Amino acid sequence: MHKVVSKLLLMTIVVLLVQPLFLERVQAGAGNPVVPASVWEQQAVGQVTNNLRGIIYSEEKGLYIAVGSEGAVLSSADAVHWVKGTPVTDKQLNGVTYGNGKFVAVGEQGTVLTSANGTDWTGKQLTNNEPMFQGIAFGANKFVAVGVDGDGFSSLFTSDDGVNWTDHSFDLLSDTPPEAALRGITFNGNHFTIEGFASEYISEDGIHWSATGTFSDAYHGYFLEDAQQVLSIGGDFAAGGQANLTNSYRSTTEPLYGLAYGQDRFVAVGGKGATVKFNLVKNGSNYEFEDPNVDMAYIQEPSDEKADLRAVVYVNAVGRFVTVGDQGYIGILKASDIQGLTWVPGEIGGTSMPSGLATGNWKYIVSPSVVPRPNQGDSAQNYTNALTSMTHVSVHSGQYIYVAQVDDQNRIIAWAEYAVNDANIKTTYNIKDVAVLPAVTNVVHGAAKTAGALGLPQQVEVTLDDNSKALAGVEWTLDSSVSYDPSGKQEQTFQVTGTLINLPANVTNTLNKQASVQVTVQAAALNSTARLAALTVSEGNLQPAFQKEVQSYEVQVAYDVTKVTVTASVYDADSTLSVSGATYAEKTGSSYVVTMPIAVGDNLFTLTVTAQDQHTQTSYQLLVHREDVEDEVKETLSTLRIGYAPGDSWESVTKSVTLANQVHNVAVTWQSSNPQFVTASGQVNRPASKDENIILTAVVNKAGFQGQRTFLLVVKKGSVQVAQEINRMAPVRVGEDGTAVDQTVVTRKTMSDGTKVDKVDIDAAQAQTALGQAAAHNKSIVRLVVEEVPNDAADQVAFGISSEAYSLFANIVDYAIETEEASIVLPKNTLEALKAEGNDLFFHFVPVRHPQDAQQWIQRAAADNLVKQEAGNRIVKQVGTPMTIETNYPANHETKLIFPLSKLNAPSNADAQAAYLSSLYIYIEHSDGEKEFKRGTVEKDASGKITGLSVIIQKFSTFTVLALDNPTSSGTGTKRHSSSTTGNGEAVQTPVVTPEEPKVNEVHLVKHTAYMNGFSDHKFHPEQSATRAELAAVLWRLISIDPSQEPISEKESYVDVTRTHWAYSAIEGLHAKGIMLGTDEGKFEPDRPLTRAEFAVLAVRWKQLKGGSIPAFADVQGHWAEAEIAALADSGFVHGYEDGLFHPNTNVSRAEVVTWLNRLMNRGPLTGTPAPTWDDVPVSHWAYGDIEEASRSHAAKLAPTVGEQWQSN
């Protein structure tokens, strides 16, 4: 019987209003009206085809959950985008609810699923007769699930947590569950409502239930709290269906499965997509259907093509109905049609007005194209215009008006679309009157005859033929018909008319209406303008250039100028000008010509402009400074410059220069320190063999005063030209600690003969920056430091410092110019004295590095009586590198010259350093022939550390540092060791040749110890290749104080040189000092022959020579030892073969080794020996003298031109 009734229920459904415990069935009617084809917006849910049976929305979680067949669970935050979770059961789920912080879904065979977040689900099955759950609700703080058990009896279970369930099926009727299927359960208000087959119950707690009627086949109920009624929907057991006649009923042709209430209406869904919408009204104490018709009105008719809709939910938070059904269907209810609204022409042209607009909240938009129907609950944010029955909507034919009824949260309830045509629009209007404009008064006198200047309005209000108002533009007529004269002095009143333009859309002016206004212009007032329009002078330049807001000016004129003519123009012709201390002719128009007599010095004139009103005045100050003759001469000299040919500058002159003969109408004469090379007219005649330093002096004589300015020029020798220029940066430092504060450009000029010149120019901007940094760091000295390029030292360093630059330092800070060979310090008081003289300064540093040149200086110094007198019987030795410094620096200005400690061969011990430096002297040979011999002063930094040796000088020349050593008791000289530094910072003892007391013929007695042995066959084998171990042993004997001393090393440095190797100490010692190193594989290869390139590298490391920049031989370009070979060649220590090549990869012979070592130590060759030491090295051998020098201990006379002459063994 139960199964047969179920089939009949699919035929007809009934919607009932029932009172508790009483229900009557009524026959459903027929003939439903036609409604739109689809009222639901179906949502895309991918490939979901499950039959969906339940839906719930949790406001707490902000989440929709839909459930259905095969354990399907879908979730969405907005009902539009859905995600299907991974099933945890294959059972059909029929209902879902939310409560106590979790979702609970139920279905067939007692299936219960729970989830705290709607994504992760846990499932179980109740075993109590495996109930087929059809619905679930949460209320009274518990979950209640209903359905039918396996025997066809009603099932009702409750749970506090959705996990643990209690069977209350026997609590429904007399403890005996009815034989009826329970279809659905809801909780609203304070009551649960259960609907089912021939059964309907209500409960406040979900446990104790009361039957309310026996409606044949209900699916869903809704409890009406204030009337104690139950609204039921479902299917009828009979074809016609029935309802309670004491109340009211409605019928449909398809069963209704789901019901929801929102926006003051009920929406029910059912079979074949059937959707109905209805409302209830209260009649007395009971509710009735609002619609008087018997049949239910569809908003979506059922059809075979549509899926059955099984459940519907209303979400108040978004004002939206959402339904689910078979085949994975999910839909959002579209907005319903607005009824009764039409459009009529507005009262204003181009507008329409609504007609039949009901009460409520209405919005609209106008669109040129069709807008899709929105869903119910969609935001009305795009509907920006409020609509009332008096709204004039501006439209034109072909547009669309869209109207939305919205709730208090601006969500769409109902909606309408209207296509606009001409019949709905008010078209054109005509102007029938123009407003009277208020008079325009108080227009300033002299206003231009234009609408803007007269203040005429741009728009006027007009009245249209429907008495509405509008604004029209005005084009005013200001031709000769208007009597206004801008130049008139009296008050003027006149009338102006204008044509109406820029009319609103659909407005015409067929009556040619015009605007009119009265204007009054004020009478002219006395002018109060008191200012100049222009100011010029006949001599000099006005500073600043004339500007109307500036009232103070200055003019500089030459000594020869005795008067100045000023032309001043007043801004207003009615104003007047007076000038103190001057005479002027009558004005011409608004201009005055004023003659001003001036004396030497400052002459102040006041120009006063008085306005027409005789009260307003403005005074201008004009200061005319007439230079005295001394200032003019100095200014003339300060602007004087020498013109150099392209590519030339003062430190590298190769062509004639341009010398100005007149500046500012002042004659200039020139003098040359050596006209042989540079004449007074600027003609350059280049020297043949060496560069020449020339001082050019510019002389100016005027009115009995003479001034001069000097320039230094370095004229390059022969045909040498600049071959290359490269820039790098040099630091600018402040204070003794050398804080870097800026950088300046160093230009490296490489000449065609290989000479390298570093040039630095300092201008006022750089000096100002450095001075500011010195002040910021509280430092008393600014230092320009030109550091040498590693392995590429400059041959010359040139500094140019403008007078504007060093004048900034005068009496404020000292200024130092530092190179690695020598530095000069210009005290601040010296800078002040130089500032008064106004010369740019030029300094040309030339270190004397070539051994022959250096030898000449030591010989000249030793022969000088000043040196002889001071030295007595002590030996004169050269220390460091002689330095020539040329400059245009005038004499008698105190300057400090400093030689850095690193260039003085000083011992490493601080106490020994002080004693050593105290014994040093500086020999000075000035270019004017004067000579000086001064003891140096030890320089220390703020911490007391020794930094160098200094001497105070008054002029610049060539400087040579000398040491005076006491001779030994035998009179043959003493052997000393000077200290240099290896690449890794360790001290290396280097033998120094110490001549005995100099004789008149410059011959000295020396003693030398042999450092290289021959073989047991009494031969030297000069052409035999020297091995790496042999050379290591020789070098170690030469540089070590105790060659037999075992080097400090915890383990061997090379895998192929153990402690038992005959040259172990030498190899380890040289390794520790970084002079002779092994291969990348950790080997030394002691028995491998040494190549010429390898010897060059270790020689440069030993002697700390600077690498050359230009390859000395064609076959070493790009070679790994190119820089070291160039350094040896530049120093004169090695030469190539007859073919002009070096052959770097050729093995070094023993003869070549001793020859090179002798040159490096300034020894030999030894001549005049009694007999050859070795059988295979006769006197005729090319290396005889060097082999004898290296292998024979001897005493000899030292003559610079011939080497050593043997005296004894």
- 500 close to 513: Cβ distance less than 8 angstroms: yes
Task: Provide the b/e sequence for 108-117 (b: ≥16 CB within 10 Å).
Answer: bebbbbbbee
Strands 552-557 and 617-626, sheet pairing: parallel
Distance of CA 983 to the CA centre of its chain: 41
Write the burial class of residue 271 (CB in 10 Å: 0-12 exposed, 13-18 middle, 19+ buried): buried
Q: Can you tell me the distance from the alpha carbon of 619 to that of 649, in angstroms, rounded to the nearest whole number? A: 51
Domain extents for the chain? 2-333, 336-424, 429-521, 532-627, 631-715, 1006-1208
Q: Can you tell me the distance from the alpha carbon of 839 to that of 801, in angstroms, rounded to the nearest whole number? A: 9
> Is there a cis peptide before residue 1089, judged by omega within 30 degrees of 0?
no
Q: Can you tell me the distance from the alpha carbon of 548 to that of 757, in angstroms, rounded to the nearest whole number? A: 54
Element (H, E) at 1064: helix 1064-1072
Q: Helix 1092-1103 vs helix 1150-1160: angle between axes, to the nearest 10 degrees?
A: 20
For 2-333, CATH number?
Answer: 2.130.10.10
Write the burial class of residue 855 (CB in 10 Å: 0-12 exposed, 13-18 middle, 19+ buried): middle
* Architecture, CATH, for domain 631-715: Sandwich (2.60)
Residue partners of 896: CB distance under 8 A and separation at least 6: 824, 825, 827, 950, 951, 952, 953
Sheet with 191-196: strands ordered across: 182-188, 191-196, 199-203, 210-213
- 735 close to 781: Cβ distance less than 8 angstroms: yes
Nearest one of 653, 579, 638, 588 to 609, comparing CA atoms: 579
Three-state DSSP class for residue 1066:
helix
Q: What is the largest CA-CA distance in the chain?
A: 159
Torsion from C-alpha of 321, 326, 328, 332, nearest 10 degrees: -20
Q: Can you tell me the distance from the alpha carbon of 478 to that of 1036, in angstroms, rounded to the nearest whole number? A: 112
What is the torsional sign of CA 1065, 1068, 1074, 1079? Answer: positive
- 496 close to 517: Cβ distance less than 8 angstroms: yes
Distance of CA 603 to the CA centre of its chain: 55
Q: Can you tell me the distance from the alpha carbon of 767 to that of 927, in angstroms, rounded to the nearest whole number? A: 30
DSSP states along 1100-1149:
HHHHTPPPPSS-SSGGGTT-TTHHHHHHHHHTTS----TTS---TTSBPB
Strands 182-188 and 191-196, sheet pairing: antiparallel
- 822 close to 790: Cβ distance less than 8 angstroms: no
Q: Can you tell me the distance from the alpha carbon of 258 to that of 309, in angstroms, rounded to the nearest whole number? A: 8
Q: Can you tell me the distance from the alpha carbon of 717 to that of 724, in angstroms, rounded to the nearest whole number? A: 17
Q: Can you tell me the distance from the alpha carbon of 348 to that of 337, in angstroms, rounded to the nearest whole number? A: 28
Q: Can you tell me the distance from the alpha carbon of 728 to that of 390, in angstroms, rounded to the nearest whole number? A: 83
Residue for token pair 């190899």: 1067
Element (H, E) at 220: strand 218-224
Q: Which two tokens stand for residue 692?
A: 């020449």
Three-state DSSP class for residue 261:
strand
Q: Can you tell me the distance from the alpha carbon of 980 to that of 903, in angstroms, rounded to the nearest whole number? A: 9
Element (H, E) at 634: helix 629-638
DSSP states along 761-809:
EE-HHHHHHHHHHHHHTT-SEEEEE-PPBTTB--SEEEEEE-HHHHHTT
Q: Can you tell me the distance from the alpha carbon of 25 to that of 14, in angstroms, rounded to the nearest whole number? A: 8
* Architecture, CATH, for domain 532-627: Sandwich (2.60)
DSSP state, residue 327: G
Q: What is the mean pLDDT of each run of 10 residues along the chain (1209 residues)?
A: 27 36 26 49 83 95 95 93 92 96 95 95 86 94 93 90 91 61 88 85 90 72 82 60 42 84 88 86 81 73 90 89 94 85 80 87 92 88 91 86 91 88 79 93 90 93 86 92 87 93 88 94 85 91 92 90 89 86 70 87 91 89 87 83 93 94 86 93 92 92 86 93 91 84 91 92 92 91 88 91 92 93 92 89 90 77 84 82 88 88 83 81 86 89 88 87 65 30 29 34 72 87 89 83 49 85 86 80 85 86 71 81 83 74 89 86 85 87 88 80 77
Torsion from C-alpha of 80, 86, 90, 95, nearest 10 degrees: -40
> Is there a cis peptide before residue 457, judged by omega within 30 degrees of 0?
no
Residue partners of 911: CB distance under 8 A and separation at least 6: none
- 400 close to 419: Cβ distance less than 8 angstroms: yes
Q: Can you tell me the distance from the alpha carbon of 254 to that of 273, in angstroms, rounded to the nearest whole number? A: 9
- 272 close to 254: Cβ distance less than 8 angstroms: yes
Residue for token pair 């801004």: 571
Rg of the chain over CA atoms, in angstroms? 58
- 349 close to 430: Cβ distance less than 8 angstroms: no
What is the torsional sign of CA 120, 125, 131, 132? Answer: positive
- 318 close to 42: Cβ distance less than 8 angstroms: no
**Residue 967: predicted pLDDT:** 58
**Residue 24: predicted pLDDT:** 27
Element (H, E) at 1154: helix 1150-1160
Nearest one of 353, 334, 315 to 404, comparing CA atoms: 334
DSSP state, residue 854: H
If you count DSSP H runs as helices and E runs as strands, how many of each does the chain have, helices first? Answer: 15, 79
Does the fold of domain 631-715 match that of domain 2-333? no
In Å, how far are 723, 925, 1184 from 691, measured between CA atoms? 17, 18, 39
**Residue 997: predicted pLDDT:** 36
What is the torsional sign of CA 1048, 1052, 1053, 1058? Answer: positive
Residue partners of 435: CB distance under 8 A and separation at least 6: 460, 461, 462, 463
- 166 close to 125: Cβ distance less than 8 angstroms: no
Residue for token pair 């392995």: 791
- 689 close to 717: Cβ distance less than 8 angstroms: yes
* Residue 1143 CB coordination number (10 Å): 15
Residue for token pair 């008393």: 780
* Residue 696 CB coordination number (10 Å): 23
- 534 close to 569: Cβ distance less than 8 angstroms: yes
Q: Can you tell me the distance from the alpha carbon of 1095 to that of 1115, in angstroms, rounded to the nearest whole number? A: 16
**Residue 676: predicted pLDDT:** 93
